[in-house]
Structure 1
Amino acid sequence: MDLAIYTVKAVAQAIVGSGYTTILIMLSLILYFQNRKTAVMQKAIIGESINSPLELTISQVVLGILGGALGSILLTYSGVMFDEKSGIELIFLTSVVLTLVKPRFICFAYSGAVLGALSLLTNDIYIYFTGKPALEGFLKLDITALMTMVGILHIVEGLLVALDGNRGAIPVFSNTNGKIAGGYALKRYWPIPVVLMLLTVVTAGDGTDVSTTTIMTPDWWPVIKTSHAAKLLETAVLAAAPIYAMLGYSSVTFTKTKREKALSSGLYIFIYGIVLTAVAQLARFDNIVISLFVVAFAPLAHELMLKLQALKEVRGKAKYVSDEDGIVVLEVAPNSPAAHMGIKAGDRLMEINNRIIESEKDVLEGIKQTLGKMEVKIKQVNGAVKELQYGTFAAGQRLGVVFVPRYVPKEGMVMGYENMKFKDFMDKIQENDEDEDEDENNED
């Protein structure tokens, strides 16, 4: 049977097979309830959800399955395989445990490094000093195969982030040089069925239940020709074992659109996956020092990748900052009056019904006093000034935009997306405006 067909069938087994369907449903439900929170936050900030929880969940599950199929085919064709007693399945449990330390440690760069280090410690290093393995051969992982798997999964993750990482973004704000900058918090997870090739050593008459399925492999297979795999292939049966994993992505940007940020992050992750896959091949030399270097490279290079992205963000120019040209729009709700008029993120509100917008309070008052036709003057991202109309604006109706306030409140409070809702922030700003009006009246 062709490798690709065999792998796809194994992925299908992970979707509809006994027991696996339950796992997929459970993961989908967890994602759905997370997406409900995202939709609620979007609705509280904008007036309606940009993406429905169901839409967010379906895209995660469908793309996760496609990503799992792609990753599994890459793993199979590259020849990544493990001894059935290697304990490779512990990488997923290790990721969950490390998440309790820091959420971003769910990445396999960290759990793979932990298992790789334990494997070298209990086998290669322990054998060097005592002449025998510490765990009787358990947790003996092929470092080349392990880190190649981590690299390939990051290649898949990079593609998923680029395609789907911008969905469910939450508007956030920060203080930059005494002004408020708008941005986006992005967080996405994808459940992926990963098919791992396991090698079971079979001896005549040992009673082992061997599958009758024969996997036809090309002459050039496997690409990764480790001594460990070569020895096992002489006396082992090759079988596919589907296991579910979770790929995750979390980031914040104030210098890019949410789409640009997803593409940029996806590219960084993709390149990291390529580099790690290449570096993993150094472990073929079966040298403890080189293997330790490869194991350490995975988390250190991952940290470097994150630092480079953060440095680029810090040195970049804030994209959404209101100024004398108008109040900048950060987000537009679909099917809202603003969306129907053609207002987009990055546009600046200059006038509402001939009322010049000098502060966020003018925006709120202009909307509040509008009945019937609304006329809006905006300055687009490209610098063009346009006048837009909406003819059926009703009392109490929302424009459907999130705008970036121009001034930081007196107390110096700036909203952090993790500890304060947008509504609370806007209430603070309105209270600040009212205090200023009272101060002016007292002076008069």
Structure 2
Amino acid sequence: MHSFFQVVYTTLQAVATAIFHPWFLIVIYLMYRMYKKIGDMEVTTLLFMRQNIGSKMVQSVLSGILIGIGASILLVAIGLPIHLSDYMVFLLPIAIMLAMINFRYLCFSYAGGLLGILSFILRGQMFLGVKLPDMNLDIPGIIALVGILHFMESLLILLEGAEDSIPMIIKKDGKFASAYMMQRYWPLPFALLVMEVVAAVPQGSIAMPNWWPLMKNIVDHAGGVIVYSIYPITAVLGYGDIAVSMTPEQKSRRTSLSLMAYSLFLLLIAVFAPNRIWLQGLGVILMPVLHEMLIVRSQIRERNSKPLYTYPDKGVRILDLKPEGLGEKIGLRRGDIILKINGTEIENYAHMKSMFNNYFTFIWIDIIGIDGKTRCIEHQAYSSGVNDLGIIPLIQEPLAVYRLENMESVGLFKMFTGKK
């Protein structure tokens, strides 16, 4: 038990070191720019921003640190080591470069797959009289790293993926409908278990149980011994999705479960890959391919499915609720359709707005929810009356209409240059 606490303490030290690394600050800056861009979209649709960028940043950073600590302790405790190569430092820079094309490439599954393929190609051989570098990457370790990162991402998506989803108006089959864009980013400082070959066991080493580590990576250690150390590393996790045919909560849960299955599959490959070259090659290919398949399948399903939040024939569809407005206080929800107010059928938003010129001191509202169930909400306002429900409606002439195809292919280059 004493050794376990020593491992936890050392792991926490590594996570703290990662937090103060320059790469962590770069990730924080990129997050700020992305959240600012999202905030501009929110203002375009709603004319206000529900949560300021600073609050979003604080929540994302704290969540990323907490998940990073928990995952690091788990990663070290069960033993998923990686043999650190000089070329491993290119993982995050490659991920950021790929994100210039599309945000979804800000992911180690693509960067790790690319490095893995290059590692199979570049093995120190001669080519046209030039000696190519030997990357000597630990392929099982990279697969394990990608697996554990996506397991952390699946947990964050499950807990926070649907929070602060942004309403956007789309046009499908000639009719307006609302969809909800989910964009979340988390900086991830964590501790990586690293294998090293040394001449002798250093003083202060911690004895671990015989079964540890779980993944028995094969390293040439002739003339030396293998020791395991804990190394700080910085990553960034991002979630981008659009809910058209289901609620943001349903969409984020489905995505989370898919990513969890994906991560467990990669971890299974990593455990059995150390002495199987064919399995390493398969893992390197499947890392980006399966990840891309999950995303593309989800996009196709949303494009081809009937929107959940369509413009109603009668009544008013609630696109969103104003922060601390009356609608939020009395229990109105996104997607609700207001059918009647004080027994009068509502034709459209203009009709409803004109009704509130009466400053009702008592109102009852008949509503049909997104689940198809009807309910009635009552509210008393004898002192001042009610002249506004505090809702953002889905209207027939919206200020901005978005194309799903455009929202699926936004990259850092477009964000920094401002190009459409």
- After TM superposition, the score normalised by the length of structure 1 is 0.78
Say which SS state the counterpart of residue 50 (structure 2) adopts: coil
Q: What corresponds to 2:89 in structure 1? A: 89
Cα distance in 2 for residues equivalent to 1:18 and 1:149: 16
Change (3 A) 1:159 1:280: same
Which residue matches 1:380?
A: 368
- Asked if 1:149 corresponds to 2:142, the answer is no
Secondary structure at 2:101 match in 1: coil
Alignment of 1:153-172 (within 5 A): 153-172=149-168
Q: CA separation in 1, counterparts of 2:345 and 2:223? A: 76
Q: Which residue of 2 aligns with 1:99?
A: 99
Q: SS in structure 2 opposite 1:245?
A: strand
User: Which residue of structure 2 lines up, in the alignment, with residue 179 of structure 1?
Assistant: 175
Alpha-carbon separation, structure 2, partners of 1:282 and 1:177: 49
Alignment of 1:113-152 (within 5 A): 113-123=113-123, 134-135=132-133, 137=134, 139-152=135-148
- Which letter maps to 1:251? D
Deviation for aligned residue 1:56? 1.9
How much has 1:78 moved relative to structure 2? 4.0
Aligned counterparts, 1:289-438, within 5 A: 289-352=278-341, 356-367=345-356, 369-371=357-359, 373=361, 375=363, 377-381=365-369, 382-389=372-379, 391=381, 399-405=389-395, 407=396, 414-416=401-403
Distance 2:168 2:15 in 1: 38
Q: Does 1:266 align with 2:261?
A: no
Does residue 223 (structure 1) correspond to residue 224 (structure 2)? The answer is no
- Structure 2 CA distance, aligned partners of 1:295 and 1:419? 29
Q: Are residues 1:73 and 2:69 paired?
A: no
Contact conserved, 1:39 with 1:168, CA < 8 A, in 2?
no
Asked if 2 retains the 8 angstrom alpha-carbon contact of 1:325 and 1:379, the reply is no
Identity %: 24
| More divergent stretch after superposition (210-219 vs 323-332) | 210-219
Shift of 1:41: 4.9
Q: Report the equivalent of 2:187.
A: 191
SS at match of 1:67: helix
1:255 maps to a residue whose letter is S
Partner AA of 2:146 in structure 1: V
Q: 1:151/1:375 Cα in 2 relative to 1: closer, same or farther (>3 Å)?
A: same
How far is the alpha carbon of 1:281 from its aligned partner?
A: 4.0
Q: What is the distance in 2 between the residues matched to 1:254 and 1:86? A: 44
1:198–1:240 Cα contact (<8 Å) kept? yes
Q: Which sections of structure 1, spanning at least 5 residues, go unmatched?
A: 205-209, 421-444
Give the superposition deviation at 1:63.
1.4
How far apart, in 2, do the equivalents of 1:324 and 1:254 lie?
19
CA distance in 1, matches of 2:13, 2:342: 58
Letter in 2 for 1:272: Y
1:213-292 counterparts in 2 under 5 A? 213-228=204-219, 231=221, 235-287=225-277, 289-292=278-281
**CA shift digits 1:305-342 (9 cap, x unpaired):** 11232243245432211323522213223320111222
* TM-score, normalization by structure 2: 0.82
Shift in Å, 1:187: 0.5
Letter in 2 for 1:373: T
Length, aligned pairs only = 402
1:322 touches 1:404 (CA, 8 Å); kept in 2? yes
Greater CA drift, 273-282 or 239-248: 273-282
Q: Which amino acid aligns with 1:122?
A: L
